[in-house]
Amino acid sequence: MTTDKLEELKNKVLVFLAKHPSEHFKATVLARRLSIKEKADFRLLNQALNELYQSKIIDRGKRKHYRHTVAPVTHRSIGILTITKPGIGIVNLLPPGDGVVQIPSRFLNTALDGDTVSVALFAHPDKSSKELNNIELPPEGEVVEVISRSQQPIVGTFQKSKHFYFVIPDDKKLGRDIYIAKGKTKGARPGDRVVANIEAWESKNLNPEGKVSEILGKSGELHAEMAAVAREFRLPLHFPKEVLAETEHISETIPKDEYKNRTDLRKLLCFTIDPEDAKDFDDAVSLEDVTNGNLRLGVHIADVSHFVQEGTTLDREALKRGTSVYLADEVIPMLPEKLSNNVCSLRPKEDRLTYSVFMIISPNGILKDYEIIKSVIHSKARFTYEEVQKIIESGKGNFASTIITMHKLSQILLKKRMKEGGIDFESVETKFRFDSEGKPTEIVKKERLDSHRLIEEFMLMANQTVARHIGLRKKEDHIRPFVYRVHEPPPPDKLQDFVSFVNHLGYSLNISGGVTTKALQKLLSEVKGKEEENVINEVAIRTMAKAIYSEKNTGHFGLGFKYYTHFTSPIRRYPDLVVHRSLYEYSNKMPHRRREQLQKMLPEVCKQASETERVAMEAERASVKVMQVEYMKRHLGDQFHAIISGVTNFGLFVEITDLLVEGLIHVRDMEDDYYVFDDKHYMLTGKRTKKRYRLGDKVHIQVIRVDPEEREIDFALIE
């Protein structure tokens, strides 16, 4: 067995024992709890337990019962290390919920991001000094031992000096090159993009030693840089064999008995509306006239929960992935293709299992009644957004009457939502057009159509209805655990910076007594159609707190909803799958014991889902940047119109107006004067010429440098 697998098993044992600090376990019990079934793996478990005991990391009692080591009086604790961008370490103590310890960079020693470490706490600061500053800071400490390496691969560039090989990591948090012995290069050549693994790091006075595990390609080449993004964010490119084997046993045919358990909606006029290149169709919509001018809106969502059962290998893999990741040139799905693009996808002219929300809506957009049911549908058509937009504008086409009525209803729902405090961010996105080799030939702004808004408003309505259905619980329901989508108001410090930002662009935002969604929406309406609209929208979005998943309902600030969840995309989001399961169980009088189980389980599910969503967003941005850099390589020397999107002491960040490509004008390239940075007014001013460059100013620029490895684009000002 490999050393890597032994170290991974040690880490699993430590995490498990730390979660059960007051209990002790036999090796056979640990094997069962850690899902170890093979004899070879059980032998490896015994080896891991023995080594951990000999190193005094875990305790062993009579009859070889193992347990978590009781913390000594030296205040040493075990946890998982995360290193932030500034290089500060944060150790999340085990078991989860035991708090965190902050590690200054000089006390990290040889610990790396993701390692399981032992930390020693520093002496507590004087209590009076904390009270004086009115700040509750986390305790500080130092890493005294690396218990197990995370074994996370490191992406970097392979190089050779006169006497040795080394890898320069992309992740600057590591701060050290990795030495590679001659026999561990895997045939890499200088300039190759590679994946490396650290094998040893004995002293912080020396560099870590490792081996090359994968060669991605030549540095700067598109396929190598895109592969580097996937490895950098540790995206799972392949499904494990056992997951695919489990998927193969799922029937593509709906059993006849299943039709009897559901409401048969196959005669109902419903259809899907998705992007042109979509393959996984999560949702279908329907609309019918009912009494007194009311409309019956139906939102029909793929019933993934019927196929992906809780606790299966397939389910555990879906939780691990958390979400599908949409890179610039490919999709890394949450579920295997058989499910995402076939069995679960609401393809036209085929029977499909769904979870339907029917909502009776009055002529002025008020929800009068609703029904949530398991169903089977037969989608009558697959529309693209562009096709539906043409029908909205022309009034002609298949199902034109229904689509026109849907459009009118969506506009009513949008106006009502805005009036009640929702914010409508006009965040402009781009898409790429590629040549036969997969290289970007064009960057096109995605136009936000009325057909997009139609689906957005219907999905928002369904999500809110489901959340209210659970959240507005009856008095007899004391415990009703659920996954909510929550969004806090913006932090005061970021909000003040945003106010200063818009003030210097000639706009105002009233935040006296705290910001309101109506005040923000008023500002966004004022800048609509202006050249600075995109910059203000982007900064506004960055000012907002990040929406997350939580078992505690605190409302959704941006939407102006007291109750909100994600129900409408279970093919590509794990929380939606959990919501479907919970809904069904509550409709069948979920037992109290199951509710208690959910209450314990959901915090970790929400944490995992929020984290995988964050990683997916960062990976998607990185992939877009790679494509933008590749595109701009062909435009060296070209000139563009741009807007200043950021001002720093080292230069101006600018964004090309038509392409939304951002780059930097370095102060060192502004050779006509010596510039002074005014951080309060987001401005650079020439000492001699008095030229001023402010946030939001329009400028004329030229592309002068493109660096694929660093994913950076440099511009120069053109007078």
What are the tens digits of pLDDT across the range 258-310?
Answer: 999 999 999 999 999 999 988 899 999 999 999 889 999 999 999 999 999 99
H helical segments located in 34-88: 39-54
Collapsing DSSP states into helix, strand and coil, what is residue 167?
strand
DSSP string for residues in 214-234 = EEEEETT-HHHHHHHHHHHTT
CATH code for residues 3-68: 1.10.10
Q: Could you name the CATH architecture of 76-148? A: Beta Barrel (2.40)
- What are the sequence ranges of the domains in the chain? 3-68, 76-148, 154-219, 241-420, 462-619, 635-717
Between CA 706 and CA 561 the distance in angstroms is 44
pLDDT digits (tens, 9 = 90+) for 554-607: 999 989 999 999 999 999 999 999 999 999 999 998 898 999 999 999 999 999
The answer to whether residues 654 and 647 touch, using CB atoms and an 8 Å cutoff, is no
Fold of 154-219: OB fold (Dihydrolipoamide Acetyltransferase, E2P) (2.40.50)
In this prediction, residues 149-157 reach a mean pLDDT of 86
Is a pLDDT exceeding 70 seen at residue 33?
Answer: yes
Helix (H) or strand (E) run with residue 64 in it:
none
Q: Which residue has the higher pLDDT, 124 or 165?
A: 165
Whether pLDDT at 173 is above 80: no
User: What is the percent of the chain where pLDDT is above 70?
Assistant: 94
Confidence tier at 86 by pLDDT (50, 70, 90): confident
**Distance (Å, whole) CA 455 – CA 451:** 7
Q: What angle do CA 382, 386, 391 make, to 5 degrees?
A: 85
- Taking only the tens place, the pLDDT of each residue in 228-246 is 999 999 999 999 999 999 9
Which of 74-78, 445-449, 684-688 bottoms out in mean pLDDT, i.e. has the lowest? 74-78
Q: Please state whether beta strands 651-656 and 639-648 pair in parallel, antiparallel, or not at all (unpaired).
A: antiparallel
Distance separating alpha carbons of residues 385 and 448, to the nearest angstrom: 10
For the full predicted model, state whether its pTM sits above 0.75. Answer: yes
| 601-641 residue pLDDT tens | 999 999 999 999 999 999 999 999 999 999 999 999 999 99
How much is the mean pLDDT over the chain?
A: 89
Beta strands in 73-140 (DSSP E): 76-83, 89-93, 100-103, 116-121
List, in order, residues 6 or more apart from 204 with CB less than 8 Å away: 108, 109, 110
Q: Distance between CA 216 and CA 194 in Å, rounded?
A: 5
- For residues 681-697, give the mean pLDDT: 89
Per-residue model confidence (pLDDT) at position 502: 83
Q: Residue 135 — very low, low, confident or very high, per pLDDT cuts 50/70/90?
A: very low
For residues 471-500, average pLDDT:
82
pLDDT at 474 (0 to 100)? 64
Give me the residues paired with residue 169 across strands.
156
Fold (topology level) of 635-717: OB fold (Dihydrolipoamide Acetyltransferase, E2P) (2.40.50)
Fold match between 76-148 and 154-219?
Answer: yes
Q: How far apart are the first and last CA of the chain?
A: 65
